[in-house]
Amino acid sequence: MAQILLKSLSILFLIPFFISQSCSQTPPAQNVPPSTICKSTPYPSFCNTVLPTNNTTSNVYDFGRFSVRKSISTARKFLALIQKNLKKSKSLTTTAVRALEDCRYLAECNVDNLVTSFQTVDKTSKTLSFLQADDIQTSLSAVLTNTQTCIDGLRDTASAWSIRNGILAPLSNDTRLYSVSLALFTKGWVPKGKKIRQSSNTHNGHTNPGSLLRNGHLNLKMSARNQEIYRTASNSHNNNNNNNNNRKLLQVDGSDNNNQVLVSDIVIVSQDGSWNYTSINDAVAAAPNNTDGSNGYYLVYVTAGVYEEYVSVPKNKKYLMMVGDGINQTIITGNRNVVDGWSTFNCSTFTVVGTGFVGVGMTIRNTAGAIKHQAVAVRNGADLSTFYSCSFEAYQDTLYVHSLRQFYVECDIYGTVDFIFGNAAAVLQNCNLYPRQPMANQFNAITAQGRTDPNQNTGLSIQNCTIRPADDLANSSYTVKTYLGRPWKEYSRTVYMQSFMDSFITPVGWSIWSGDFALNTSYYAEFGNSGPGSNTSRRVTWPGFHVINTTDAVNFTVSAFLIGDDWIPQTGAPYTSGLI
């Protein structure tokens, strides 16, 4: 992750979760001049230069549509600019080309997100449902995240000086425009109050045991043909490996026909060549494109082994489920890193951006080591994605929760500096966080959340997790400070609740990024934690730090923060909807 400080010009906002963050109390449907509407955005002066100024008045819906439409045009122009610069790739360094390629991909995502958002806002001039509003707010939040990621990548590429001025200058105004669009959408279309929606799947704070694993077996609903293939493959593989734990996991349990995870098709990856594929990427490539998940998941079963490949689940591979033989059985490993010329965004061993992805029972590693600095194990930019019973292992920047909505349950995460970072709306539940031994003179920071705008619905919620030192740190003769997090971006938002913190957590809890950057505008909170490291009496005294109560904490639960009751049940992963 970029270690360079990037300050954005934004207003002070300390309200942690209320969706309506407008400064203005003007009713959305009332006609007002642009100058009035612009007061409800983080950039009033810039907003006044963007909205029509021909002495007309309008309401927030008309102004919002105008801003999103203009954002689409701007995103397309930026994409064309990147493509123009890439035509000069022969005169650029490899790192500069990689930074530009990252920007091209991110710009393409922005065009898609803005077009999809406009299709919704163009059809209605009234408040949307919580679920509809969250979809669009998530997309517009991701547009800002993608733009910031491009900026970070270009700034970190020392050899890209020749292209920076021509690209970063327009990006500054692009960011402001996207922020205005998000603010106007939030004011006009998002329901006021807290983002809590009671649905038919809500469990009222109780644990849903999930249906993916029942009594140690996979509980999948699939055709008789696929069941036979799966049983044959798993039994054959497990007999060869004589691993009783695997045999338990990989039997198909058909005992609960009413609560099974639906599977449309299955392919099997085995390194000995006895099944469909020897490469994980080849299996992913065989998946159908752009499915909606209504017919179930496309299941890629990856048998035990060490897979030295850089796995990518692209945007068009939706509702793909990847199941391994278990942690430390199915291992995916790579060693790309920033020191060797890769961007932070594109050095990950495992990259997933396909909507609805579910990963189960795998270990994913980046073995570059602490000396190589940023070296990502997993980059996740997949909306409505879930990882269950997986292990992520690296040092600096292990888990990149880049954007959109994500859920992690019963996972192990190992790292040193900023090892859970990014700007998704992400909940980690019942996970084990293991800070490791960093390089000499380094400290550990578990999180570095990257929220840049007060209207983004993003942040990290760490619930009912266990935070203990990894063996190398626990046995070290050196004293290493370990912090809960530090503010990577101006509106960084991270909440620890109902988690166990061991004694090695530094008493102040949180570290600065640089000077007083973001200490007023970040939102860091703790609620109901336990263990010797959870004592808040000596925590930092920044305006952005809070010890919160139940009323505030419920906003960061699966049900409220992710509206997870609407999409996590179909994954079969166990989860707790509310507070524990």
Contact at 8 Å (CB) between 345 and 149?
yes
Written as one string, the DSSP assignment of 355-424 is: TT-EEES-EEEE-S-GGG-B--SEEE--TTEEEES-EEE-SBT-EEE-SSEEEEES-EEEESEEEEEESS
Q: Work out the number of other CB atoms within 10 angstroms of the CB of residue 537.
A: 6
Tokens for 470, please give them: 């990894």
CA dist., res. 329 & res. 270, Å (int): 12
Contact at 8 Å (CB) between 166 and 81?
yes
> Can 418 be counted among the known catalytic residues?
yes
Q: Can you tell me which residue has the tokens 């036979």?
A: 228
Which CA distances in Å does 93 have to 99, 261, 372, 375? 10, 47, 20, 20
Q: Can you tell me which residue has the tokens 């940023």?
A: 374
Contact at 8 Å (CB) between 50 and 86?
no
On the CB side of 342, CA atoms within 13 Å amount to 18
**Helix, strand, coil % over all residues of the chain, rounded to 5:** 30, 20, 45
Look at residue 202 and give its three-state secondary structure: coil
Contact at 8 Å (CB) between 392 and 398?
yes
CA dihedral 123, 125, 130, 132 (to 10 degrees): 10
Indicate the length of the chain as a whole number: 580
- The two most distant CA atoms of the chain are separated, in Å, by 78
In this structure, are strands 358-360 and 575-576 parallel, antiparallel, or unpaired? unpaired
Task: Label each residue of 20-34 as H, E or C.
Answer: CCCCCCCCCCCCECH
Which CA distances in Å does 463 have to 137, 202, 511, 529? 23, 18, 20, 9
Catalytic residue among 418, 453, 565, 566: 418
Contact at 8 Å (CB) between 319 and 291?
yes
Contacts of 224 (CB under 8 A, 6+ apart): none
Nearest to 330 by CA among 394, 221, 243, 409: 243
Residues involved in catalysis: 418
